Amino acid sequence: MFAIAGSPIVVLGARFADRIGKGLRGAPRDALVADVTPPEIRGKAFGLRQSLDTIGAFLGPLLAIGLMIVFTNNIRSVFWFAIIPAAIAVLFVIFGVEDQGTAPDATERARPPVRWRDLERLPRSFWEVTIIGVVFTLARFSEAFLILKANAEGLPIALAPLVLVAMNAVYALGAYPAGRLSDRVPAHVLFNWGLIVLILADLSLGMMPGLLGAFVGIALWGAHMALTQGLLAKLVADHAPADLRGSAFGVFNLATGVSMLFASVIAGVVWEYLGAGVTFLAGAGFSVVALFLVQSQRRKTLVKRLNG
């Protein structure tokens, strides 16, 4: 749809279709990772998955830059080429993933994917993780604003994919080590570091002038993603019943997806009326709120343990 789009409405529709596809595949993918991984190395597994996913996000923009040069900035041709790896991915799913369903009959398999009584079975600890994820996502609006920032500081539009290359390079390098670390240290420690790094990223993007300041912030943004995204997936898997992991990931992704939508709308309005600097400073403010929320949740957990 991007390749044949003739109006902004079609582009918007293509973007919605893309995000719907991400929503459909994300929950079963993460549930599958959790199901086949021993709990003691679950953080490592999600870190590896995140790293491999991000390597693709790193190589894709590099390929896009090369194709933009080859096709003299004809972005439609670039999108036609993007269909090729998408089709290969579909073939891998069809021929490489074995579905070992446990439902006793076709009627059970055909039931609605999430039922109210299923939601009631999700424990309080899962909802606490979801609330933290929502607040965290409010502090982390769309990466499209990173591209806008770099372009505003002088990066040519043809080189805009370099923003994603830089961010995803740091993300890919850090995701697996952070995942391994999450199996050994308390979750709140990594969350705290991730939020502190996000605050530094927002401050760099909001206050440091020029492309140097923009790319320092972009690199820090990738570092905070490495510290937190695999960790969130691990926590969802850890706090959801085994037979409801797919539903739990779906609910979590829905909540954080809506949060991302609101965060990006707010960021766009602030950017339009108050400028880029205020936008990223607002993101730093939400990060501080998320940091306090994590600390508050940690204190509650400690109190519960002390009280038996």
In a domain, 32, yes or no: yes
What is the C-alpha to C-alpha distance for residues 114 and 253, in angstroms, rounded to an integer? 13
Continuous segment of H or E residues that includes residue 240: none
Q: In percent, how much of the chain has pLDDT > 90?
A: 8
Question: φ and ψ at 222, to 5 degrees?
Answer: -65, -35
Residue 211, in any domain of the structure: yes
Exposure class string for 233-248: b at 16+ Cβ within 10 A, else e:
bbbbbebbeeebbbbb
The amino acid present at 69, given as its one-letter code, is: I
Amino acid at 13: G
Tell me whether residue 196 is in a domain: yes
Q: The CATH number of the domain where 225 resides is what?
A: 1.20.1250.20
User: Tokens 């372009």 label which residue?
Assistant: 151
Q: Give the type of residue at 21.
A: G
Whether residue 243 is contained in a domain is answered as yes
Q: Please report whether residue 117 resides in a domain.
A: no
d(CA 2, CA 109): 35
Ranges 79-83, 149-153, 220-224, 239-243: which has the least confidence? 239-243
Tell me if 197 is assigned to some domain: yes
Q: How many residues does the chain have?
A: 308
Q: What is the average per-residue pLDDT within 106-122?
A: 63
Instruction: Confirm if 195 and 287 have CB atoms less than 8 A apart.
Output: yes
How far apart CA 30 and CA 33 sit, in angstroms, is 5
Whether the per-residue pLDDT at 111 is higher than 80: the answer is no
Q: What is the pTM of this model?
A: 0.76
Of 80 and 116, the one with more pLDDT: 80
Work out the mean pLDDT of the chain and round it to a whole number.
82
Select from 192, 174, 169, 185 the least CA-distant residue to 62.
169
C-alpha 125/C-alpha 235 separation (Å) is 9
Helix, strand, coil share of the chain (percent; to 5): 85, 0, 15
Residue 123 has pLDDT above 50, yes or no: yes
pLDDT by residue (tens digit) across 125-179?
Answer: 888 888 888 888 887 888 888 888 898 888 887 788 788 888 888 988 888 888 8
The first and second tokens of residue 144, run together, are 């499209």
Residue 107 domain-assigned (yes or no): no
Question: Is the separation of the CB atoms in 279 and 270 below 8 Å?
Answer: yes
Is residue 15 in a domain? Answer: yes
Range of the domain at 159: 8-93+123-306
Q: Structurally, how many domains does the chain consist of?
A: 1
